[in-house]
Amino acid sequence: MAKPTGFLEYTRINAPDRPVSERLRDWNDFHTDLPLEVIREQAARCMDCGTAFCQMGLALQGTPSGCPLCNLIPEWNELLYKGLYEQAYRRLAKTNSFPEFTSRVCPALCEGSCTAGLYGDAVATKQNERAIIDMAFENGWVRPRPPKVRSGKKVAVVGSGPAGLACADRLNRLGHSVTVFERDDRPGGLLMYGIPNMKLEKWMVERRVRLMEQEGVEFVTNASVGESIPIEKLRREYDAVVLCIGAKKPRDLNVEGRACKGVHFAVDFLAANTKSLLDSNLKDGSFISAEGKDVIVIGGGDTGTDCVATALRHGCKSVRQLEIMPPAPEQRPASNPWPQWPRTFKTDYGQSEAIEVFGRDPRVFCVTTKKTDCDENGNVAALHTVDVEWVDGKMREVPGTERVWPAQLVLIAMGFLGPEEALIKELSLEQDARGNILAAEGAYKTSAEGVFAAGDARRGQSLVAWAIREGREAAGAVHAYLAQKK
């Protein structure tokens, strides 16, 4: 453990975010870092709790509890506190392929299950993880480690999001020759084009990709498997294929006026913004701009929050975020006990920014969209809603609560319905009840010989940490398969 009395001696300290007035003027990371001595004190708060729920990575009654990667959190917290920084990094890297990503975009399930958080503030594990990995890169501890021996086996990984990268990384370390096929112009998938730059700066993704290339992984971009590259070609030329294609099929808004110009899927809005930012610092105009517009974001979650934050950086006239569900409770309900992830009301960075800019929370709860209005040029002009109430788990509209909202940009952030189906149909893959690729956890084998699936394509829309875990485990399953293959 770290310091036996650390959780009694030190209070939790969170690194302050950059001021809203400053960070809205750029697209840089909105977080700041604490001094190393303060970080060491925060690591000292990791207590001798007997059972480290923070690292168990289980689902309790359907609710996630602890780190999906089963990170050895008490161990590297102790090493961090003792000043054994490189050893802390080695311990962290043992279970986590990409701590620089998870320490920035993970909601910290570990902290929700922290024993210190049962009656006080949880250990600042996510913050400590970020300090360790940043220190490791700064000191050159993260360097190319290509395998000394190659197996002679070739594996194609389709998709370069967190699952694809993690799978490729581990397969390469096991000695197999790995080629990653990415349909976008840059590797990274969700990490590159699904998460805004202010949450995860893209040079970090590029740095990791370069490192993997130096270790022997090949990346092929602008490669749409199933279209420009037949999937059967990969099956012929490679000993195994792993589908890490994500769950990118967005849930649509099926209302009157959906065809109005200016109604977009959130993923298209976010991806185009990041691509233009990287290509030209938004000077090429190849993105959907919210500047001077009344923006309506339909849906909550991380994607909705990212849309709010992006619209604010464009200089929108106003922004509202409509959610069909009621707000979560302020305190844990009895049905959501520790060490489950607490399903309580939270205000994320995008909402905090909107509150400071406009003086109000952008979220409107228990409301559903009925239709959108177009102007004489076919552009969206307004959005009609009605309030709803939930009784015994069923929704009903509340008469007399109809409202009309001005809107020149509507962003649909209503979640995803599963993976795109072109490859699934081409391979005649079996699917589960939700439309995901059917492949048992642990085996990750699909119904097609030599074809595996991992990440959101298999489990549905989830967290980056879960995607990394699945990618790592799928690599192990492929390795076992290749060992049996003549």
* CATH number for the domain harbouring residue 60: 1.10.1060.10
Whether residue 108 sits in one domain with residue 179: no
**Selection from 206, 327, 350 nearest residue 266 by Cα:** 350
| Of the residues 375, 397, 412, the one at which a domain ends | 412
Q: Which amino acid belongs to residue 418? A: G
Whether residue 407 sits in one domain with residue 270: yes
Between the two ends of the chain, the Cα-to-Cα distance in Å is: 47
**Higher-scoring residue by pLDDT: 332, 475:** 475
Whether residue 456 sits in one domain with residue 355: no
The number of distinct structural domains making up the chain is 3
Locus of tokens 């980056």: 464
Distance, in Å, from the CA atom of 50 to the CA atom of 36, rounded to the nearest integer, reads 27
Whether residue 280 sits in one domain with residue 337: yes
Write out the H or E segment, with its range, that includes residue 318.
strand 318-322
Distance, in Å, from the CA atom of 126 to the CA atom of 128, rounded to the nearest integer, reads 5
What pLDDT score was predicted for residue 443? 96
Does 77 fall in a domain? Answer: yes
Locus of tokens 């009694």: 8
**Selection from 462, 470, 428 nearest residue 166 by Cα:** 470
Does 253 fall in a domain? Answer: no
Does 103 fall in a domain? Answer: yes
In this structure, what CATH number is given to the domain that contains residue 466? Answer: 3.50.50.60
For the stretch 91-135, pLDDT in tens is 999 999 999 999 999 999 999 999 999 889 999 999 999 999 999
Inform me whether the pLDDT recorded for 85 exceeds 90.
Answer: yes
What pLDDT score was predicted for residue 486? 67
Does 376 fall in a domain? Answer: yes
Whether residue 271 sits in one domain with residue 379: yes
What pLDDT score was predicted for residue 1? 63
pLDDT range class, residue 144, cuts 50, 70, 90: very high
Whether residue 130 sits in one domain with residue 217: no
Q: What is the mean pLDDT of residues 36-58?
A: 93
| The token pair that represents 214 in the structure block | 């130096």
| Of the residues 412, 445, 467, the one at which a domain ends | 412
Inform me whether the pLDDT recorded for 228 exceeds 70.
Answer: yes
Distance, in Å, from the CA atom of 366 to the CA atom of 236, rounded to the nearest integer, reads 52
What pLDDT score was predicted for residue 60? 87
Q: Between vectors from CA 215 to CA 213 and to CA 221, what angle results, nearest 5°?
A: 20
CA 329 to chain CA centroid, nearest Å: 24
What pLDDT score was predicted for residue 61? 85
Whether residue 363 sits in one domain with residue 448: no
DSSP at 190: I
| Of the residues 103, 138, 173, the one at which a domain ends | 138
Q: Are strands 263-265 and 294-298 parallel, antiparallel or unpaired?
A: unpaired
Which are the contacts of 221, defined by CB distance < 8 A and separation ≥ 6?
Answer: 182, 183, 184, 185, 186, 187
Does 256 fall in a domain? Answer: no
- Owning domain of residue 99: 6-138
The SS3 of residue 319 is strand
Q: Do 482 and 176 meet the contact criterion of CB atoms below 8 Å apart?
A: yes
Whether residue 404 sits in one domain with residue 288: yes
**Selection from 168, 54, 165 nearest residue 112 by Cα:** 54
Q: How many CB atoms lie within 10 A of CB 388?
A: 17
Q: How many CA within 13 A on the CB side of residue 5?
A: 1
Mean pLDDT of the chain: 96
Q: Are strands 177-181 and 154-158 parallel, antiparallel or unpaired?
A: parallel
Does 190 fall in a domain? Answer: yes
Whether residue 408 sits in one domain with residue 267: yes
Q: How many CA within 13 A on the CB side of residue 44?
A: 18
What pLDDT score was predicted for residue 370? 97
DSSP at 434: T
Distance, in Å, from the CA atom of 315 to the CA atom of 319, rounded to the nearest integer, reads 10
Q: Do 229 and 310 meet the contact criterion of CB atoms below 8 Å apart?
A: no
Does 145 fall in a domain? Answer: no
Does 230 fall in a domain? Answer: yes
138-149 in b/e form (b: 16+ CB < 10 A) is eeebbeeeeeee
Whether residue 120 sits in one domain with residue 10: yes
Whether residue 315 sits in one domain with residue 193: no
Instruction: Render 240-287 in DSSP notation, one character per residue.
Output: EEEE------BPP--SBTTTSBTEEEHHHHHHHHHHHHHHHTT-S--S
Whether residue 178 sits in one domain with residue 226: yes
**Selection from 446, 447, 448, 468 nearest residue 456 by Cα:** 468
For the stretch 168-204, pLDDT in tens is 999 999 999 999 999 999 999 999 999 999 999 999 9
Q: Do 330 and 345 meet the contact criterion of CB atoms below 8 Å apart?
A: yes
| The token pair that represents 194 in the structure block | 């699904």
